[in-house]
Structure 1
Amino acid sequence: MHSVQGLGPRSLDGFCVVSGALLATNIRFGEYVQGRPDGPHVMLALAIALMLFPAFGLYESWRGRPVWRLFRQVFLAWLAVQACGLLVIFSLHRADLISRLWFAYWTAISAGALVLVRVVAYSILGKVRHAGLNLRNVAIVGGGQHCCDVVAKIGATPDTGFRVAVVLNVRDVGKDLGLRALTYTSFSEFIKHVRREGVQEIWLALPLSEERTIQRVVDEFQYELVNVRFIPDVQSVALFEGGVIDLIGAPAINLIASPVSARSLAPKEEFDRLFAFVALVTLLPVFLAIAVAVKISSKGPVFFRQDRKGADGRVFRIYKFRTMRQHDEKAGVVTQATRRDPRITQVGAFLRRTSLDELPQFINVLRGEMSVVGPRPHAIEHDEVYRKLVDGYIHRYRIKPGITGWAQINGFRGETDRVDKMQKRVEHDLYYIRNWSFMLDIRIVILTVIKGFIGRQAY
């Protein structure tokens, strides 16, 4: 939002607080006067809101910042107001005059109104900015692909209220970046243009190694009312685009760390447990039929158990239906199944081809060791080999392994008899981790059901 420091936004918030209380009163008490909450409590909350809302940053400019964070601040600020109001009421021994149901109605209605006002305001501002109005000019200092990406993002999101006015190309000076914006290669000419046009935003789209350029810009504008912001290019050193996090109260950039937070994975965890429980109950007759077939096909146990690595490298025991005849292998050696492998039974060949041998892994999902969707876990012996041969291999274990995954529905399943096959599988696994979303999981599950269970690579 542009500047919301004036009287208008504060008045709207006050209107939301008071009107929410009146509407809650009408819902709770109707036309009855007796038992209605007193006006002083509403006025007290209004006064507290006018004092606390600025402290929560509700009247600062949110231009270019995520809208959902503003909505979160609105909720927190309003809850803080209500908590302070209750504290005062209890201190004055007037809590018996307040209806708890009315208070709940008021809190919910006013919270919704406070958010709705901002939704409408952002919608109007978005349309205004799409029309080319209320835009703030930005000067970009950078070069290479990162600079082009920043310029492209600004152009693709006009509703944020920024427009690229000029670019200083400090890298690949002789190369045309192909940008529509006015581009300089001379620092002094760039500075003159910024001051002549009154540009108030300078964004440094530079790698961490460009310390001298960063310091030069800061020194040039440290005594002027110009916002200088640093958008670091960490792609050359960062494995994932983890962004900036708060670490012991200080900003930190993830260079090698999981890009998916534990909080973001909470819906995935709930989905996994529920899906696994339903699958185990629903498929119980299938489990029993397969167990009988495996037992009849050859001597040995129904289940095949093997140690695999899970999230953060924790070892767990995976379950599968046994598809091979019992055989001996050298210690520390696990031989992959190959086409027409004599160790595979006829029932086992069918189970592998249809991936039905993987069904017992829903037990691992229910136990929290695996996920429905994720990178497929490999034998620990294979991990030790491929982690040295394939770039980024070990980072597949930043999240829980899955029964199915992005690599599997794209055809990379079964035997990996060449390193390039494993490299492709890992590339798909890392793509999944970088771009994870709950909807991507749902898509993979659906595609697995449609085409993923049967494949030529599985044997």
Structure 2
Amino acid sequence: MMFMVVMLLLAMYINGIPYGKDYWLLLFANLAIFSYLGESMQLYRVLRAGQFTLRIMLLFAVLSISFLLTVFMLFLMKEAETYSRLTLMSWYLLSLFSFIGWRLIYRKIKHQRYANGFGLRKVAIIGLTPSGLKLQEQINKHKEMGLKCIGFFDDRTEERLAEHSDQLIGKVQEAVEMAQRNEINKLYICLPLLAEKRIANIIHELGDSTVDVLLVPDFLLKNLMHANVSSVGNIDTISVFESPLSGIKEFYKRTFDILFSACALIGISPVLIGVALAIKLTSPGPILFRQDRYGLDGKRIGVYKFRSMKVMENKDVVVQATKGDSRITPVGAFIRRTSLDELPQFFNVLIGDMSVVGPRPHAVAHNEEYRKQVDYYMLRHKVRPGITGWAQINGWRGETDTLEKMEKRIEYDLEYIRNWSLWLDIKIIFLTFFKGFVNKNAY
């Protein structure tokens, strides 16, 4: 954030603005907003290798939104005339270019050092196993991590290791001794978890070294909902199925939901009135329809929608709408195809039953049907259901007339939950305007 301080001073100097308390207050306000958004959107989290572009996009988003909110705050407080618009714009552009420029320069210098063999950290892998081989592949693929794999250590004979035996450079004890002599920087243990006692002995011996020791489990990590190490008393635990939204993250998402849904309801109020009148004038029955769905933690909630059918099904058996469905009214066909029928769900967001972004809520009857057929189906209820979602903008919206379609929808829902960030929510909302409203599969 030092860049933002320096760039404000530079912008004021360029535009001939004297230094005063007004600009210092503005600086502190902007830094507070930037810090909040940076933490919310996980700007400084450790990204996976090969995601430098995502880091730049995140930085651009956080910086731009923080400046827009700062200007909006000045407008609401009627203080906008106190500040030079040219100085504010100069400050934003200088901060943006300095942030991005520094990251590009630093990345170039770091890569050049690694390419010349400077600063590389030596890595040894215990266990010539499938997980060990995949780890080596990723190390060799992503040179920007600055890791150099010196080889594998395994106690098995070359005959048992088959075609990969040429990569074996020693026994496990040799790796331990190298670590104790500080000849390596990182040591990955890629043994099957069934070898619990063997792993415990290795870790115990490595306690007499300063090497970084990392354990690579051999089970399917992709099935972990939120891999997080915590403890109960002095017992360590690894979460398998746990919502990523807890504590301050839950506060961030809920704050965003309230602000966005309140602004959205104000902005779309003419549309809401127009759709309500069209429904009332073209078919008998209520304007809104409240259907039971499963919400957070599998609890039942009532989800509001504009009525698009002649009937209002909310029973143990609900027949999904299909192409040419006779139950759908003429107005209903249009509002379903354009997702206008879902706009009242912003009220659900305000009262806390739903979120702006999340897995779409299914009818209770469909939940009971598919939870028995699709693995990990109910894990989608570890977060609040949403008006739009990752599955919807990727084309898995509308009728799920085959098990494969539902499986793909759940796959994207779980991917969203595993990778949640405020930046991802903003990205999904943005893409919804282009991909989420109109869909050929929505009847």
- Which TM class, normalised by the smaller chain length? 0.5 to 0.7
CA drift of 1:251 comes to: 2.9
Q: Deviations over 1:267-304 (max 9, x none)?
A: 22222111111111111111111111111221111001
Segment of structure 1 superposing worse, 303-312 or 240-249: 240-249
Q: What is the aligned counterpart of 2:304 among 314, 319, 328?
A: 319
Work out whether residues 294 and 362 of structure 2, in 8 Å CA contact, stay in contact via their aligned partners in 1.
yes
Map of 1:22-421 to 2, 5 A cutoff? 130=114, 131-151=116-136, 163-169=148-154, 173-176=161-164, 183-184=168-169, 186-187=171-172, 198-199=183-184, 201-218=186-203, 224-225=208-209, 227=211, 229-233=213-217, 235-236=219-220, 238-248=223-233, 250-326=235-311, 331-421=315-405
The structure, 1 or 2, with the larger RCO (C-alpha pairs under 8 Å, 6+ apart) is 2
- Aligned residue in 1 for 2:12: none
CA-CA distance at 1:447 after TM superposition: 1.3
Cα distance in 2 for residues equivalent to 1:365 and 1:422: 24
202-211 or 440-449: bigger deviation: 202-211
Deviation of 1:226 after TM superposition, in Å, equals: 5.8
CA distances 1:115-135 after superposition (whole Å, capped 9, x unpaired): xxxx99xx7996896353344
After superposition, the Cα gap between the structure-2 partners of 1:259 and 1:206, relative to the gap in structure 1 and judged at 3 Å, is farther
CA distance in structure 2 between the partners assigned to 1:302 and 1:251 by the alignment: 53
Conserved? CA contact 2:310–2:328, under 8 Å:
yes
Residue 276 of structure 1 contacts residue 365 of structure 1 at CA under 8 Å; is this kept in 2? yes
Q: Percent same amino acid among aligned pairs?
A: 42
Amino acid at match of 2:304: Y
Q: Distance in 2 between matches of 1:425 and 1:250?
A: 36
In structure 2, C-alpha distance between the alignment counterparts of 1:231 and 1:445, rounded to whole Å:
37
Superposed CA RMSD in Å reads 3.6
TM-fit CA distance, 1:405: 0.8
Of stretches 190-199 and 441-450 in structure 1, the one that deviates more from structure 2 is 190-199
- TM-score, normalised with respect to structure 2: 0.67
Structure 1 counterpart of 2:441, one-letter code:
Q
Deviation at 1:221, TM superposition (A): 5.4
1:408 Cα shift?
0.8
Q: CA 1:301/1:189 → structure 2, altered by over 3 Å: closer, same or farther? A: same
| 2:365 partner letter | E
Contact persistence 1:306–1:317 (CA under 8 A): yes
Given that 2:308 and 2:332 are in contact with CA atoms closer than 8 Å, whether structure 1 keeps it comes out as yes
Contact 1:355 1:453 in 2 (8 A): yes
The letter of the residue matching 1:347 is: V
Change (3 A) 1:327 1:240: closer
Tell whether the 8 Å contact from 1:129 to 1:159 is kept in structure 2 after alignment.
no
Gaps of at least 5 residues in structure 2 are 1-18, 21-44, 48-101
Give 1:415 shift. Answer: 1.1
Q: Please tell me whether the aligned partners of residues 180 and 210 of structure 2 are also in contact (alpha carbons under 8 angstroms).
A: no
Count, aligned residues: 340
1:376 touches 1:405 (CA, 8 Å); kept in 2?
yes
Q: Distance in 2 between matches of 1:177 and 1:426?
A: 40
Offset, 1:140: 1.5
3-state DSSP of counterpart to 2:305? strand
Q: Deviations over 1:326-346 (max 9, x none)?
A: 3678x5111111111111000
Contact residue 323 and residue 347 of structure 1 kept, 8 A: yes
Instruction: Give the aligned partner of residue 445 of structure 1.
Output: 429
User: How far is the alpha carbon of 1:247 from its aligned partner?
Assistant: 3.9
CA 1:143–1:344 in 2, change beyond 3 Å: closer, same or farther? Answer: farther
AA of the residue aligned to 1:457: N
What letter is aligned with 1:167?
F
What secondary structure does 2:248 align onto? coil
The TM-score normalised by the length of structure 1 is: 0.64
For the residues of structure 2 that align with 1:128 and 1:247, how far apart are their CA atoms?
45
Listed as ranges, the gaps of 5+ residues in structure 1 are 1-26, 29-64, 68-118
Contact 1:201/1:226, CA 8 A, preserved across alignment: no
